Structure 1
Amino acid sequence: MISINETSESSRALRTGVRLALLAGVLTTATSCAADQPAAQLPTESSTTTQSAPTPLPTPEQASPSTPADSVDEGDQRAAVAAAEDVVSALVSHTSYDAWWAALSEQLTPAGEMAFEYTDPAVIPARRVVDGATLISAPDGTSARVQVPTDAAPYVVTLIRQDVHSPWLADRIEPVERAVR
């Protein structure tokens, strides 16, 4: 026959064992979760130095007008058309990749660079820009769309700039039939 004291001690031991097993499971789970997380890093002398990150250019949808649309002057419009003609001229120049990329990349936004970085210039059907680039739209002083004719097909160039004092950069260059309207 089992006494009441033996039963209580057995229950207590069982409860203690269950608690220890649960605690071990929780600790194992917490340890494995912590292993998946990157360790916190203490600041070092070099990481505490204040450095200003470059300001990313806005996308055409994010470009905020620095001036009202009706005050975009004719000089800015001419500059947008000239920038679009220059970037398409660089795009269609059939030189070595290195020379092509050097001339083109300096006229592109980071998104434009990503779009053309691995392009083989030999696959671009156009060979030259022909006269007659036209401004499609310039809703504000920081974004514009220009159509640039080439000997193969016209291209639509979407230009943006950080503010009205910054240079125009091409964010997109697309054949007219594929251009987003």
Structure 2
Amino acid sequence: MSTTTAAAGPTSTPSAADVLDDGAADAGLQAAVGALTAFSDRERPYETWWPEVSAHLSPEARYAFEGTDPANVRVSAVTDAGVLAAAPSATQMTALVGTDVGQYRVELIRQSVEDTWLVHALTPPPSSPR
């Protein structure tokens, strides 16, 4: 006699492994602020600015920002520690970080919960063209 067990179907509750915990959220906020702080250091020449900025970026973001002239970056200072805006999973989060030109949206990703957060996108406030 054979017995089959029904496979568990999808649930509306994420597994514990896919929920962002407080420590990971804090690390993500620190990564967002660190990246935006490096990005806003626009007084440096590209040769020293880019290595610092690119260390915080995902490969896609590095491609998008490579060649940016730091003199054209409008933000010059981070003004707060950021707040968590969204965390759809333990490997994706969005932070809102205050700057001297308004609030930036910083989207972060990581390949696994053990990996370091990397900035996937930096979106300036609507009033700022960069």
TMscore range, shorter length:
0.7 to 0.9
In terms of fraction of residues, the more helix-rich structure is 1
Q: Secondary structure at the match of 1:154?
A: strand
The separation in 1 between residues aligned to 2:51 and 2:79, in whole angstroms, is: 22
8 Å contact kept, 1:77–1:135: yes
Q: Say which one has the larger Rg.
A: 1
Name the residue aligned to 2:11.
none
2:71 to 122, 137, 140: 122
The separation in 2 between residues aligned to 1:127 and 1:151, in whole angstroms, is: 7
Where does structure 1 differ by over 2 angstroms across 4 or more consecutive aligned residues? none
The letter of the residue matching 1:170 is V
**What percent identity do the matched residue pairs reach?**
34
Q: What 5-or-longer segments of structure 2 have no aligned partner?
A: 1-14
Q: Secondary structure at the match of 2:105?
A: strand
Name the residue aligned to 1:13.
none
The separation in 2 between residues aligned to 1:66 and 1:110, in whole angstroms, is: 28
Does residue 73 of the first structure (1) align with residue 21 of the second (2)? yes
1:98 to 44, 47, 59: 47
Residues 132 and 82 of structure 1: is their aligned pair in 2 closer, same or farther, counting only changes over 3 Å? Answer: closer
Residues 90 and 99 of structure 1: is their aligned pair in 2 closer, same or farther, counting only changes over 3 Å? Answer: same
Q: Provide the TM-score with structure 2 as the length reference.
A: 0.81
Superposed CA RMSD in Å reads 1.7
Q: Provide the TM-score with structure 1 as the length reference.
A: 0.59
The separation in 2 between residues aligned to 1:89 and 1:134, in whole angstroms, is: 15
Q: What 5-or-longer segments of structure 1 have no aligned partner?
A: 1-64
In terms of fraction of residues, the more strand-rich structure is 2
